[in-house]
Chains A and B, each alone.
Chain A
Amino acid sequence: MKRKILSITLVTALLFVLAACGSASKDSDGKASTDGSKKVTLKIIHWQQENINNYIKEFNTKFEAKYPDVKVEYTTVPADATYDQLMQTRMNAGTTGDVDIIPLKSSFVGAPQDWSKGAADPMWKQWIDAGLISDLSGQAFIKNYNEVDVQNAMTYNDKVYGVNMGKVAFTGLFYNKDLFAKYNLQVPATWDELQNVIKVFKDNGVEALGFAGKDVWPIGLAVQGLQASIHDDQLSYIKGLWTGQTKLTDPVQIEVLQKAQTLMNSAMPGFMGIDYGTLPSLFATGKVAMIADGTWDATTIQAANPELKFGYFPIPGSNDAAKNKDLAGKYDMTWMVVDKSPNKDYAMKWLEMLSEKDNYTDFVNAAGFLPTQPDVEIKSEFIKDIQPYLENFKLSWDQLFINRQNVGQYIAESSVHAEMLKPAGPIAAPEELASKSQADWDAAAPK
């Protein structure tokens, strides 16, 4: 008898658990908010980037103070594929309101062009085409942003689908000003001058150059710097790859790979084992004189060592100083509102409040972005310092490049794989990597 009672209790308990699962989803669809007693949960996902996360958390508190019936649920995950995966699963979760606001890692780039026959649609385009992203064209806060930036970074098919928070440059090197002064070095303006800087550091037993090789993509930042200064016109070269007028084995591209190899040969030992999170601290503690990283990490470096005097200059890939004077980069994070979200109104209010001049100014200063709103007062000495390099801001290679589908490993994803060259990888000659890349590119040509 005792056993029977026990078993019946257990079964009932389990049924309750199952039933609870069923009813929980009802709560989260937000409809309960209409009676006023329950709070609306506004769900925002984001990738981990400490300085930005801290500001958004602060802003969320302000937002909750202004709208007392809203609770913001702010979820952050690592910036790698984990974030892409989170976006995908949340977007696909159905109409239960699993997410209301999603930031894209860049702006609306990568859509197939008329010259890129057979290229795959990027995720954001699939979402917009499927009607999952809200049209923000009519919103008043869009007018806060520069018209040209709205056009370049937030518009698709003549409608505004996102709010881009700013530009970042990443084709330069951070340098330690004290170390440069100690050895009487100037910021290098040409390739030969850069080689000289590296040589002076090496002769004095200072590690000259640091890469976060373990994550591979940070090496790509430097390579994109070389591309931006060695190529005369990256976009026409990329178009040429599709139409067959240019090849990945062209001398200009060989030069990029050769110089990337030279840079890796000058890098600190063990750079292929250093992950992206560690690199800024090595620089901040003076263990290495220059590192390849994006301008967004200036705040991280500053936080790691507030005493450090540092600057940033474009990687001089060319011996023609005029070709090296501009930084390249991208439009960084773009907020999108999920159209099926039951909390759409509050999502709009959230974006509206973030777009207010004061809040936006605080954001760009915390994030270290270059503003997409006019007349924003930049407090960062660092950004003021690099202003001359930003006057003719260029889009970087990865923002312009459109890849073919099912391409092999020598051209997949970031398309230029300098990390496969010695000393990082197994291939000795840049020419060999270039011809393997071109072979992969040709093999993937649409039939």
Chain B
Amino acid sequence: MYPFGKGKARLIPYLYLSIPLLLYVVFGFGPSLVTVLFSFTDATGVRGQEWSFVGFENYKTFFGASNAGDRLDAIGRSLYFAFAVVIIQNAVGLFMAILINKKLRGDKLYRAVFFLPVVLGVTVSGLIWQLVANPLGGPAQSILNFFGTSSNFFGDYNIAFELIIFVQIWMYMGYSMTIFLAGLQTIPNDLYEAGYMDGASGWKAFTNITFPMIAPSFTVNMLLSIIGALQTFDIIYVLTGGKFNTTTLAFDVYATAFGTGTADYGLASAVAMIQFLFVFTISMVALFYLRKREVEV
């Protein structure tokens, strides 16, 4: 009846909530709002220098300046990155979750091992793969040498971006796996037994029982990986620094704000806004379809 107590005690939850709210407004919402404002100005980010409103000038620069082609390439690369990561990461994650769900000996160890990269963090993962792909006597190079070939790995225009995609998947497949595993464990065994009676086993059981039943985890995983992939900046920074055609839209935000040697926060804010709209639109479309699918089953 009185979930939060009576009298003044009722206010305590609001008091608690007001603290994160305050922190969020000061450190999250406020700066975001300022970014929107900045994107319409010619602010340089230099303290004490005047700035004024310039309307959509920064957005025009993004789409119309002479390097707009490079920026569109970066958007294309973002989409490619997200597409590859979302498909492979979830497929691998689901596959591992199903295997681990089969009460294998040592399944807890497998869980820990596959989840480990998530805990390691970007810098450590980046360092690990740079060591593995060290062109001077690194293990990956030794294997290639055995087959009579060699590679520059992260310094190679042809494969650097694909390698980053690989590392990103390696880093987060354990995360997808865990969410799928949670979903799988909610499926009661009776369903499979009943299915077995009706002649559904193996692949049939998977498509007709497992997959529909984990629809909510599927939605969560798809959304998280779409948003995560479109926002990826850190692993690119660590592995190639945006060189060798590995710049994505998210990386462009950073490069515009800090990478040019001349301060232009107005343009950088506009790029950030475009990045936000880009991620927002794609995830909303994805959410719409994913929810529809959930309802249907």
A contact residues vs B (CB 8 Å cutoff): 4, 7, 11, 14, 80-81, 84-85, 88, 91-92, 94, 110, 120-123, 126-127, 129-132, 213-216, 269-274, 278, 282, 405-409, 412-413, 420, 424-426, 440, 443-444
Contacts and interface: CB of A to CB of B under 8 A. Distances in A.
A132 B48 contact: yes
A85 B49 contact: no
B47 A7 contact: no
Contacts of B264: 120
A84 B151 CA distance: 32
Contacts of A110: 261
Which of under 10, 10 to 19, 20 to 34, or 35 or more describes the interface residues of B?
Answer: 35 or more
B47 A94 contact: yes
20 contacts: A85-B258, A88-B45, A88-B263, A122-B262, A123-B261, A123-B262, A127-B46, A130-B46, A132-B47, A214-B152, A214-B155, A216-B243, A273-B135, A273-B153, A273-B156, A274-B155, A406-B65, A406-B66, A426-B158, A444-B65
Contacts of A91: 46-47
A409 B71 CA distance: 10
B157 interface: yes
Interface in B50-101: 61, 65-67, 69-70
Interface in B129-156: 133-136, 141, 150-156
A120 B61 CA distance: 14
Contacts of A412: 67
Given A84-B261, A121-B262, A123-B263, A272 B66 contact: no
A88 B15 CA distance: 37
Contacts of B44: 126
Contact of A84 (B48, B136, B241, B258): B258
Given A84-B258, A88-B263, A278 B67 contact: no
Contact of B259 (A81, A92, A122, A405): A81
B9 interface: yes
A129 B49 contact: yes
B263 A14 contact: no
Contacts of A88: 45, 258, 263
Contacts of A132: 46-48
B77 to A, nearest CB: 13
The listed residue with most B CB atoms (<10 A of its CB), out of A7, A214, A413, A444, is: A214
Contacts of A14: 19
B58 to A, nearest CB: 11
Contact of A426 (B12, B154, B157): B157
The listed residue with most B CB atoms (<10 A of its CB), out of A94, A273, A282, is: A273
Nearest to A423: B152
A406 B61 contact: yes
Contact of A406 (B48, B67, B150): B67
Contacts of B136: 270, 273-274, 278, 282
Contacts of B16: 7, 11
Contact of B152 (A81, A85, A270): A270
Contacts, number: 111
The listed residue with most A CB atoms (<10 A of its CB), out of B65, B67, B243, is: B67
Given A7-B16, A213-B155, A412-B67, 4 more contacts: A11-B16, A270-B135, A273-B153, A406-B66
A131 B50 CA distance: 12
Given A80-B241, A84-B258, A426-B158, A11 B15 contact: yes
Cβ-closest 8 pairs across A and B: A273-B135, A270-B135, A272-B155, A443-B66, A406-B65, A272-B152, A444-B66, A130-B48
The listed residue with most B CB atoms (<10 A of its CB), out of A132, A215, A272, A424, is: A272
B148 to A, nearest CB: 13
B271 to A, nearest CB: 12
Interface of B: 9, 12, 15-16, 19, 44-49, 61, 65-67, 69-70, 133-136, 141, 150-158, 241, 243, 258-264
A126 B49 contact: yes
Contacts of B260: 413
B188 to A, nearest CB: 37
Contacts of B158: 426
A7 B12 contact: yes
B150 to A, nearest CB: 6
Contacts of A130: 46-49
A278 B154 CA distance: 15
B60 to A, nearest CB: 11
B59 to A, nearest CB: 13
A269 B149 CA distance: 11
A438 to B, nearest CB: 12
Nearest to B61: A406
Contact of A81 (B46, B135, B258): B258
A284 to B, nearest CB: 14
A88 B69 CA distance: 28
Contacts of B261: 84, 110, 122-123
A399 to B, nearest CB: 13
B47 A273 contact: no
B136 to A, nearest CB: 6
B262 A273 contact: no
A123 B263 CA distance: 6
Nearest to B70: A409
Contacts of A273: 133-136, 151-156
A123 B258 CA distance: 11
Contacts of A282: 136
Contacts of B66: 406-408, 440, 443-444
A127 B48 CA distance: 9
A120 B157 contact: no
Contacts of A413: 260
A121 B155 CA distance: 32
A94 to B, nearest CB: 7
A272 B155 CA distance: 5
B285 to A, nearest CB: 30
A393 to B, nearest CB: 24
Nearest to B62: A406
Nearest to B237: A81
A318 to B, nearest CB: 29
Contacts of A84: 258-259, 261
A7 B135 CA distance: 57
Given A123-B261, A213-B155, A274-B136, A92 B45 contact: yes
A131 B48 contact: yes
